[in-house]
Amino acid sequence: MTKKITRRKFIQVGAAATAGLSLGLHALGQDKPVSKNDMIRIGVIGTGDRGAWEVEILKETPGIEVAACCDIYPPHLANGLQAAGKKAKGYEDYRKLLENKDLDAVLICTPQHLHYQMALDALAAGKHIICQKTMTLNTDEALALSQAVKQSKSVFQVAYQWMSSPLYFKVREMVRNGDCGQITHIRCNYNRNTDWRTPVPDPKFERLLNWRMYREYSGGLMAELCSHQINIVNWVLGAVPQKVTGFGGIDYWQDGRETFDNVTTVFAYPGGVKATFQAITTNAFENVLIEFMGTEGTITIRKEESQQAHFYAEPKKVREVLSPDEMEKVTATTSATRGVWARGEAIPITVEEENLDDFFTTRWMFQDFAECVRSGGTPRSNVDNGREVAIAVDMALRALHNGTIEEWKPAYKG
pLDDT digits (tens, 9 = 90+) for 394-409: 999 999 999 999 999 9
Task: Enumerate the domain spans of the chain.
Answer: 7-26+163-355+383-413, 30-160
Tell me the CA distances in angstroms from 43 to 67, 104, 174, 288, 371, one per residue in order.
6, 8, 38, 31, 17
> What are the phi and psi torsion angles at 221 (to 5°)?
-60, -40
Q: Per-residue pLDDT for 35 more than 50? A: no
Architecture of domain 30-160: 3-Layer(aba) Sandwich (3.40)
Q: Tell me what pLDDT residue 268 has.
A: 98
Q: How many whole angstroms separate alpha carbon 158 and alpha carbon 365?
A: 9
Q: Per-residue pLDDT for 17 more than 60? A: no
Q: Tell me what pLDDT residue 397 has.
A: 98
Q: Per-residue pLDDT for 9 more than 90? A: no
> How sure is the predictor about 30, in pLDDT bands with cuts at 50, 70 and 90?
very low
Average pLDDT score, the chain:
89
Please, which residues have CB within 8 angstroms of residue 339's CB and are 6 or more apart in sequence?
none
Taking residues 247-276, report their average pLDDT.
98
Q: How many whole angstroms separate alpha carbon 1 and alpha carbon 19?
A: 24
Taking residues 115-126, report their average pLDDT.
98
Q: How many whole angstroms separate alpha carbon 365 and alpha carbon 359?
A: 10
Q: How many whole angstroms separate alpha carbon 173 and alpha carbon 271?
A: 19
Least confident of 24-33, 155-164, 242-251: 24-33
Q: Tell me what pLDDT residue 331 has.
A: 44
The distance in angstroms from the start CA to the end CA of the chain is: 26
| pTM of structure | 0.89
Q: Per-residue pLDDT for 122 more than 60? A: yes
Distance of CA 79 to the CA centre of its chain: 25
Domain 7-26+163-355+383-413 has CATH 3.30.360.10: yes
Give me the sheet containing 183-191, strands edge to edge.
347-349, 308-313, 297-302, 288-294, 183-191, 274-280, 262-268, 243-249, 406-407
> How sure is the predictor about 20, in pLDDT bands with cuts at 50, 70 and 90?
very low
pLDDT digits (tens, 9 = 90+) for 306-351: 899 999 998 876 666 555 555 454 444 455 665 666 666 889 999 9
> Are the CB atoms for 253 and 221 separated by under 8 Å?
no
Pairing between β-strand 243-249 and β-strand 262-268 as defined by DSSP bridges: antiparallel
